[in-house]
A and B are shown apart, each in its own frame.
Chain A
Amino acid sequence: MMRLWRLLLFAYRADFRRRYGAEILAAIAAERKLPEYRGAAGSIRHACRTFVDITASALRQRLAPRPAHAFRSRHMDTVRQDLRYALRQLARRPGFAAVAILSLALGIGGNTAVFGIVDSFVLHPFAFPDASRLLIVGRAFPKLSTGTDFIEVLSPAEYEDIRQARSFARTAAFDLGNRNISGGDVPDRVFTAFLIDDPFPVVGLPPFLGRGFTADELRPNGPPAAIISHRLWVSRFHADPALVGKTIRVNGNAATLVGVMPPALLLVGTDLWIPWGATPGRVPRNMRNFSVIGRLARGASLASTDAELAAIAARVAGDHAAQFPEYTGWRLVPRPFANGVLQDARPAGLLVLGAVALVLFIACANLASLMLARASGRQRELAVRVALGAGRGRLAQQLVTEIAVLAAAGGAAGLALAAVAIRASNALVPAQFTAFGLGASVNARVAGWCLLSTMAAVALVGILPALQSGRTEPNESLKQDARSMAGGRGARRARHGLIVAEVALAVMLALGAGLLLRSFANLQRVDSGLDAGPVITMRLTLPQEKYRGGDAITAFFEELARRVDALPGIRRAGLASQFPPQAFIRLRVMVDGAAPAGGETLPTTFATIASRGYFEAIGMRLRAGRLFDDRDRPGAPPVAIVNEAFVVRHLGGRAPIGARIRVGSRPEQSAPAEVVGVVGNAVNAGAASAPMPEVFVPMELGRDAWNQLFLVARTTGDAASAVANIRQAVASIDPDQPVYAIRTLGQAFESGIATQQLSAALLTIFAAVALTLAAVGIYGVTAYSVRSRTQEIGIRMAMGAERRTVVWMVLRQVFVLVAAGLAIGTGAVQALGPALGSLLFGVTPIDPVIVATTAALLGAVALAAAWWPAWVASRVDPVVALRYE
């Protein structure tokens, strides 16, 4: 930030800056520490005030009449002269200035807005101090063919192992869940983290009020304590500063509120922290529901942590692989917290950032070719000035000053544009980010990026014209007449090169947008395997304190299913522990009588608890056997339903009905269940993946009672309108029981592809802007070339050329350039294709249909842009043209 202020000081006169610059910077730094500027909002307020203060006083100073004695720098004088000259030049051609500023504003503003969005969601999503040194530890079990996962993936015993690593100064682990906070009218269900160790020193932020957990509170059966989020403190406890030390009720049990978190949301958006309070040694090593975070110790790095964790993993494998075979070859993977938590948004974010940079390039190329055209138009003027003794550097400087004035105006407008866009963008953000409480805002980094884009624009636009003007040969230019003046070969080549570059960049964007749109369409068209129609889903979690034991839980859910089934407007209701498009819970599976596949490791399968009505409610189709029914009740023999993928993968070739399978964390110890039915495949591993094997066990059997299930109801009318009735049905059984995570099945599917949707939409917008800019560029260059060739065209027509021939001559030139751009752009996309890989679905980077469409679109755009100049050329009156000088 101070670097930015130092830059801003250049707004002052040089003498003033030399005299007071250091003092001003010191004063800014001192002010920054005042209590009123604390926190994120404070920093922004401070930045705004300082910015206004500096620019205003610098402006007053520059506008004030200069004291006669003041130190005059020759350099500053020429800058002023150039500025005045540039302003005069631009004022003389307001149309040109407006177009230039507008296109720069679009380019710079777009860049800044996208950077702001990507910065707040992908690059710096969490406001932790020194965020790159806060790591999250993930793990991968190649034996179970899992990928690297980070959230709820490690057991308390494994956390104890990780805690030994010297690379971490502090560590903490948390399990995620939900708790009811009571008191008040409505029972509030809040997202909760159950903690081993105090997270405050790990995330690096102090509590807003109170303190973190003490060792006493964290040990098993310690005094109950709770910490709440800032937003909960405001919304539920009216920001009562005396709340700390008071007792609140968590799932009906009293706990002392010991602290309030700072306003930034910590630990993936949890609102309540309570100590986990059990003994790690008592929990089996494979009960993996903790996420582990650690702050790097001084001198440690990501690489050193990686090495140390690898050694720990190897040691654990040596000690426990006999009992837990998945440890063979397992890996512990440290990652910066944000990358681990939000990993799959990075490619999309960087792609969009790259794409919008291309838009800025195009805008700059456009402006550069306009400037080139003007520079060659002014060649004579420049030549005269060189002849009169102006230095070449001086001429180039003047040109760059002109561009800088344009860019500064464009940058300022761009920043304003970006601020609006960034604010509006929060509505478009996929739910995976809003769940963590993230939001985009304009900060110092965004302003810095805007400045950077502006400077880049000056360099990009300025370099060619400056080189060109530097090459002015007064002798030559003055001897030349108007005919050849405009079309120096070098200048023409430069203009044509710019058009090719513009077209190539626009092609890249258009192809990229086409690919993403196709992918998105393919994703939407994926056959979910479910019957169509309105379905509403919601989640219920029964407090363990109130519903003790499986019978009470099963009784509640059975009664709920019965009552919801009876509601008007409900076709069928059911309950399940997970539902399409994304299942999470995997268990290991054994098939009786089959040789264990792939050696000693057991394969895994999605395992879902489902009630009787679930299959009809969600719309799964029965392929063989039966669904769950009255026969499946407590005491009855265990049964299971499997999907077709399961039959193919695990029962290959055998008759599925009647097969006996065992499912569990240690399946060899669980009782076998008989397969009584087969259902069709439904999407269960995300919309972009083929359905995986899945086993369903009946909820009514009561063997695996889960206190957290989804209610799924197929409705006759609009799905959302059934919610009120369902709420009433829940309240009629237990008035204290909240429902949450309410969404339609359609929304559940949409949120799975929100990132693709957003990047496809953004890229389409960029491509449209890029094509428009390219069209403007093509028009400009063609019109210019027609104007400069008027005489030549006149001669051709005098010699008998037809109008058609003239039009074709102009268009042909354009088409050659466009074809070159198309080829380069397509080649570039092919080269960059692999980078797009993770965002594409069902298309290859070079899709002939998309390339053909892009080529056709581009041809049409080029034709539209070049048509008018070509027509103008064909209207040239030879007599007038030949007189034209």
Chain B
Amino acid sequence: MSPRKTELRHPLSLSVTHILLALADGARHGYAIKQAVEERSAGEIRLGPGTLYEAIQRLEDAGYIEEESARDDPGNGQEAQRRYYRLTPDGWSVLRTEIRHLARVVDHARAHARLRRASLT
């Protein structure tokens, strides 16, 4: 990989956070990331193939995720060609920071009388 890392802007966009979150379960290949994100956001976030890999590239360049060197079980031919991505230690720490940050937002919102009933429960 590259010697220098490019920085991603913070706070991370919602779709990027979702992608990192999807990888927190373990390594996934690109299309599985997309499926997990769309499922978890209840379809609110749509990742087209182009957008997905654009985000993957940025996360890779930023050093938050990396390609898994080799799958233990190549399985059938197709499976073997797929590339799997996992979180790097940097990625974990960014995700934790991000989640903490989001949790604070949600806490504040929960404390707010007019918002509490509206959407959070």
Contacts and interface: CB of A to CB of B under 8 A. Distances in A.
Nearest to A65: B6
B51 to A, nearest CB: 5
A49 B48 contact: yes
Interface stretch (B54-62, B89-97, B103-111): B54-62
B34 A27 contact: yes
B16 interface: no
B50 A23 contact: no
24 contacts: A16-B53, A19-B57, A20-B30, A20-B53, A22-B81, A24-B50, A24-B52, A26-B30, A27-B52, A27-B53, A28-B49, A31-B49, A50-B48, A50-B49, A53-B49, A53-B51, A54-B48, A54-B49, A57-B48, A57-B54, A58-B50, A67-B2, A67-B6, A69-B3
Given A27-B30, A68-B4, A69-B4, A57 B50 contact: yes
B31 A61 contact: no
Shortest 4 CB-CB contacts between residues of A and residues of B: A53-B48, A57-B50, A27-B49, A54-B50
Given A49-B48, A54-B48, A69-B3, A27 B54 contact: no
Contact of A23 (B3, B6, B61, B83): B83
Nearest to A31: B49
Contacts of B57: 16, 19-20, 61
A30 interface: yes
B39 to A, nearest CB: 13
B54 A60 contact: yes
Contacts of B116: none
Nearest to B55: A57
A76 interface: no
Given A27-B30, A67-B61, A68-B4, A61 B54 contact: yes
A69 B2 contact: yes
Interface of B: 2-4, 6, 29-31, 34, 48-54, 56-57, 61, 81-83
Nearest to A26: B31
Contacts of B61: 67
A53 to B, nearest CB: 3
A306 to B, nearest CB: 42
Contacts, number: 62
Contacts of A26: 30-31, 82
B65 to A, nearest CB: 13
B13 to A, nearest CB: 12
Interface in A31-71: 31, 49-50, 52-58, 60-61, 67-69
Interface in A440-459: none
Interface residues of A, number: 25
B53 A24 contact: yes
Contacts of B83: 23
A553 to B, nearest CB: 61
Contacts of B30: 20, 23, 26-27
A47 to B, nearest CB: 12
Given A16-B57, A60-B54, A61-B54, A24 B49 contact: yes
A61 B52 CA distance: 12
Nearest to B48: A53
Contacts of B4: 68-69
Nearest to B49: A27
Of A23, A54, A60, which is in contact with the most chain B CB atoms at under 10 Å from its CB?
A23
A23 B51 contact: no
A525 B51 CA distance: 62
Contacts of A31: 49
Nearest to B34: A27
Contacts of B56: 20
B66 to A, nearest CB: 13
Given A27-B30, A57-B50, 5 more contacts: A24-B50, A28-B49, A53-B49, A54-B50, A69-B4
A27 B34 CA distance: 9
A52 B50 CA distance: 9
Contacts of A16: 53, 57
A16 B55 CA distance: 12
B31 A57 contact: no
Contacts of A57: 48, 50-51, 53-54
Contacts of A61: 54, 57
A239 to B, nearest CB: 25
A652 B14 CA distance: 91
Of B2, B48, B81, which is in contact with the most chain A CB atoms at under 10 Å from its CB?
B48
B17 to A, nearest CB: 18
Nearest to B60: A19
Given A16-B57, A23-B82, A56 B34 contact: no
A52 B61 CA distance: 24
A50 B53 CA distance: 13
Nearest to B78: A26
A565 to B, nearest CB: 67
Of B3, B4, B30, B57, which is in contact with the most chain A CB atoms at under 10 Å from its CB?
B57
Given A49-B48, A53-B48, A67-B6, A23 B53 contact: yes
B28 to A, nearest CB: 12
Nearest to B2: A69
Contacts of B6: 67-69
Of B29, B52, B56, which is in contact with the most chain A CB atoms at under 10 Å from its CB?
B52
Contacts of A30: 31
A20 B3 CA distance: 20
Nearest to A16: B57
A23 B56 CA distance: 11
A382 to B, nearest CB: 38
Contacts of A52: 48
